[in-house]
Structure 1
Amino acid sequence: MKRILVERELTNEGPRRSGDARGKRRTVTVNLAESPLAWLHARGHLDDRLFDAGEALRNDYERAQLAPGVTMRWDPVRAKTTGERGLTPTERQVAAKQRFDGAIRHAGKGLEDILWRVVCAGEALPTAEKALGWPARSGKLVLRIALERVAEFYRIR
């Protein structure tokens, strides 16, 4: 896993970004390359099955190219090949989109928001809880329920 380590000062609200001119306090080292899902997994809040389910969902999200992009694509033109299972790149993208939509649908109404925010958008759990208007520390439980359903969809044991 890639590591981008930076020092952040601790405040009552959490780590402070460098350049903030307030008084000195304790500092922590933060890995900017670590996803919220990987953070939860590394600290024992998610088991391997739920982590793998989240990674499968994020992988399909990225393969389906659902993230916002620029208006111009600068990808190099590739020669036509028979990639995985003989599908064209467009067919692989459509298949990933269908898997992503199926996993989100299988998770159920009300759980797609936390899945998208934490797994796909890489939003921190406290930030997602605040944006959704949930009580503090409730997101971890809801995320676990959502990831259980996603693991069922992807048949991860």
Structure 2
Amino acid sequence: MKQDICTVMVEIDGEMQAVSINLAESPLSQLYRRKGADGKPFLTAEEFVAGERLRADFTRGNLMPRTSANWETGVGGRNRTGANGTAELTDAALASRFRVQKAIDAVGPELSGVLVDVCCFLKGLETVERERLWPVRSAKLLLKAALGALDRHYHQRSGPSKPGSQTIVQWGTEDYRPQIG
């Protein structure tokens, strides 16, 4: 497998840490390196980091399905309890699963599928489009929208806004109440 190793800064448990990543491994990193027609990157650094953060939690939470037999227990071995063997998971893995679920819920059902397929299962955009019977190049746009929503979730922003701008909550005075009926 081709390797393209680089060091990036990633937020882990509230602090920035340098980590090495293989840019050739993930379809997300390949998309991050592509430039648009205007010469700017298609994905922002924040969107890329949000996708990699989801992938890290997905991996730490042991959410990948098994592709082979479980050799840890015999046929007559101990009995597994909990869904997906959660009784055997560490606190860190359970916390990772919780973070993945919160992120998926924040992105919503319309965008979470393409996000999980590309960021977590490392499927290429063409594969996602073929499996879902989507038009060509549609997965790229939906992934960008999903990554934007994921970045807002991680940084607790309510929506796309410029730094320093304020969101209008209501037009009336503080004691204003609308008339019903």
TM-score if structure 1 supplies the norm length? 0.67
Q: CA deviation at 1:150?
A: 0.9
Q: Residues of 1 paired with 2:32 and 2:23: CA distance?
A: 16
Q: Higher Cα Rg: structure 1 or 2? A: 2
Specify the alignment match of 2:113 in structure 1. 113
CA deviation digits over 1:5-58, x for unaligned, max 9? Answer: xxxxxxxxxxxxxxxxxxxxxxxxxx9943100000011221101000000000
What is the SS of the residue equivalent to 1:65? coil
Higher relative contact order, structure no. (Cα contacts within 8 Å, ≥ 6 residues apart): 1
Specify the alignment match of 2:28 in structure 1. 37
Specify the alignment match of 2:48 in structure 1. 51
Aligned residues: 116
Q: CA deviation at 1:152?
A: 1.3
For the 8 Å contact 2:114–2:143, the answer to whether it is kept is yes
CA deviation digits over 1:88-126, x for unaligned, max 9? Answer: x71111110000000001001121210111110000001
Structure 1 unmatched runs, 5+: 5-30, 74-88
Specify the alignment match of 1:66 in structure 2. 63
For the 8 Å contact 2:23–2:29, the answer to whether it is kept is no
What is the SS of the residue equivalent to 1:58? helix
Q: 1:49/1:32 Cα in 2 relative to 1: closer, same or farther (>3 Å)?
A: closer
For the 8 Å contact 2:50–2:154, the answer to whether it is kept is yes
What percent identity do the matched residue pairs reach? Answer: 39
Q: Residues of 2 paired with 1:90 and 1:34: CA distance?
A: 27
Instruction: Please identify runs of 4+ aligned residues in structure 1 that moved more than 4 A.
Output: none
Pair 1:91-2:82 in alignment: no
For the 8 Å contact 2:23–2:30, the answer to whether it is kept is no
Describe how 1:108-147 pairs up with structure 2 within 5 A: 108-147=108-147
| Structural RMSD (CA) | 2.4
For the 8 Å contact 2:28–2:48, the answer to whether it is kept is yes
